[in-house]
A and B are shown apart, each in its own frame.
Chain A
Amino acid sequence: MMAAIAAVMLVWGVGWAMNIGLARGGHPSAGWAAPLVFGLTLLVMWEVGVRLGDVSPIILPAPSAIAARFAGSLPILWADFQQTILKGALTGYVIGAVAAFAVAILVDRSAFLTRGVLPVGAFMAALPIVGTAPIFVKWLGSDWPSKAAVVAVMVFFPILVNTVAGLRDTTAMQRDLMRTYGAGYWPGLLKLRLPAALPFMFNGLKIATTLALIGAIVAEFFGSPTVGMGFRISTSVGQLALDLVWAEIVVAALAGSGFYGLVALIERRLTFWHPSIRQ
């Protein structure tokens, strides 16, 4: 046990010394090398600690065991990914986002409603909406439509609030210019206010990517068919197959950062004119 602790400390010392060197060096590559070294240090500490410390795999499996399980269970992981991410999370995300845009554009026509929707929407966004999962499972059955419904409700409010706030983000000068051009409601919306709202909308869309995955996975804890990431996590935890649980968490992490990255990429393409992106 002492040997394990000493070895873990040693790995930490080596990794941290490398990063101190990287930080002092001030080379531009430190921006990506330091987090990489830090992550690898943690992984090696984990592996060494589990091996030398004889930690039981039903408490903490080693990263190598998780990697082996990941590689060996690709068909299961892919089926769960399809069920939870592609069907549950993505469908719900699209439904919630489209509904939020539609409501935002309707509400935006009335200054009175806007003043009401902004605080109520922000309030609803802070509530534990994921708790509605058992209700949707009862209404829509245990397959993916109930998960998509939970996700749609969860992503609706942050996107709505951000879009409504974004549609108001034009200056009187800009709106006056549109009026001098003789632009009516629709040209003003399409050519001025929607583009001006895009940075806000993407802010909401990016917050919603994580919420969508959380909703889809957690809703499966309340009832699901025998496939899906949440189902796999809860049943494998019960069977103490923690390597499979960790493999699912790796998939969730990859899916989460990939989804977020995709939305951020679309944002860069669509809001290329914004000062935060312009070079």
Chain B
Amino acid sequence: MMRNVLPILTVVAVLLGVWLLAVVPMNIHLAADQAQRDGVAVVPDTPAARQEVGAVALAVRNPDVMASTYTLERPALPGPQQVVGELWRTTVAVRPSSKQSLIYHGWVTLSATLLGFAIGTTLGIVLAVGIVFSRTMDLSVMPWAIASQTIPILALAPMIIVIMGSLGIQGLLPKAIISAYLSFFPVVVGMVKGLRSPDAMQLDLLRTYHASPLQGLWKLRFPASLPYLFASLKIGISAALVGAIVGELPTGARAGFGARMLVGDQYGQPLVTWAALFAAAITAAVLVGIFAMLERWSARRMGAAA
């Protein structure tokens, strides 16, 4: 683990460096327009003429303007420090109950994600147990569960929101249902594989102990399926988060990460969009990280080599 820290930091530093370098050419035309409005001499001196000039050439001919590409109010590509600043302003500097607070919006999205994820995971595990014990269910349902992985079922999201809205159900539940069905299928497929992972020798041993199928499930199949379960949970939780975010788009929801992205997009506030995007990414990373920790903890408890 430790020997990977330096390589990881290097890769992250390279990505940050590319981002920092890209800010100048992405913003230089906007920065030049702004500088001219502020009374600074810019070459060439009309916006139309500047459009003819490439971004790098324009930056080279106006070295004084370059620094201001990092501080524009409405940049095409904000600098990393601007995104961090906006994240800080909207999480720490405002009250969590404020409509500006990303903690408030994050909780709106996160609560739908977690509720849907819990529903989808529970149903997925139940169905997987059914599939393992019933050959009829295995034959009828399993091919569809596998096929669902190749289909963009996220496209159903707008319809779920609108149908449930016309039935008078709004807010948390429609988004949770989208999250639920997105996390459901990976859990089914992973758990079926996991519950079947004990080999014939182990199943035979239980039979010689005269163990009932229920004891076999509880004492052998469930523990054996844990690595598969955690792999599915990590896929499921990030799918559930994407589902909740996309569920906020079609009805023009007022709250949530998806709503913040739309607001920033429609009102020309790129920093709002970028901050919401990074907050969503951080949320996803924390959720996946929690499951990765649980995975390692359960592996240790079960005696895997550390």
A interface residue numbers (CB < 8 A to B): 16, 19-20, 22-23, 30-31, 34-35, 37-39, 58-60, 112-117, 119-120, 123, 126-128, 130-132, 134-135, 137-139, 209-210, 213-214, 217-218, 221-223, 229-230, 233-234, 237-238, 240, 242, 245-246, 248-249, 252-253, 256-257, 259-261
Decide if A131 touches B250 in the complex (CB within 8 Å).
Answer: no
- With both beta carbons as reference points, the residue of chain B lying nearest to A230 in the complex is identified as B155
- Chain A contacts for B140, CB-based, 8 A: 19, 34-35, 37-38
Bound-state Cα–Cα, A135 to B268, Å = 11
Decide if B163 touches A138 in the complex (CB within 8 Å).
Answer: no
Decide if A210 touches B285 in the complex (CB within 8 Å).
Answer: no
- Chain B contacts for A217, CB-based, 8 A: 152, 154-155
Is residue B212 within 8 Å, beta carbon to beta carbon, of the partner chain? no
Bound-state Cα–Cα, A59 to B159, Å = 9
B interface residue numbers (CB < 8 A to A): 3-4, 6-12, 15, 76, 135-136, 138-144, 147, 149-152, 154-156, 158-159, 161-163, 166-167, 234, 238, 241-242, 245-246, 249-250, 257-258, 261-262, 264-265, 270, 273-274, 276-277, 280-281, 284-285, 288
- With both beta carbons as reference points, the residue of chain A lying nearest to B158 in the complex is identified as A237
- With both beta carbons as reference points, the residue of chain B lying nearest to A264 in the complex is identified as B150
- Known A-B contacts A23-B135, A252-B151; A134 and B158 likewise in contact (beta carbons under 8 Å): no
Q: Give 17 A-B pairs besides A35-B143, A128-B284, A257-B150 with Cβ atoms closer than 8 angstroms.
A: A19-B136, A22-B136, A31-B139, A35-B139, A38-B144, A59-B163, A114-B7, A116-B7, A123-B285, A126-B285, A131-B281, A134-B265, A139-B76, A210-B152, A233-B158, A237-B159, A261-B150
- With both beta carbons as reference points, the residue of chain B lying nearest to A130 in the complex is identified as B242
- Chain A contacts for B238, CB-based, 8 A: 126-128
Interface of A is mostly: helix
A-B contact pairs, 18 of them (CB 8 A): A16-B136, A20-B136, A30-B139, A35-B141, A113-B10, A115-B3, A115-B4, A120-B15, A127-B238, A135-B270, A137-B265, A209-B150, A223-B265, A237-B158, A237-B250, A245-B159, A252-B155, A257-B150
Decide if B280 touches A128 in the complex (CB within 8 Å).
Answer: yes
Decide if A218 touches B246 in the complex (CB within 8 Å).
Answer: yes
- Chain A contacts for B262, CB-based, 8 A: 134, 222
Bound-state Cα–Cα, A154 to B274, Å = 17
Decide if A128 touches B242 in the complex (CB within 8 Å).
Answer: yes
- Chain B contacts for A138, CB-based, 8 A: 76, 265, 270
- Chain A contacts for B277, CB-based, 8 A: 131-132, 135
With beta carbons under 8 angstroms apart, the residue of A58, A139, A221 that contacts B158 is: A221
Bound-state Cα–Cα, A249 to B158, Å = 11
Bound-state Cα–Cα, A237 to B249, Å = 12
With beta carbons under 8 angstroms apart, the residue of A112, A117, A134 that contacts B273 is: A134
Bound-state Cα–Cα, A23 to B156, Å = 32
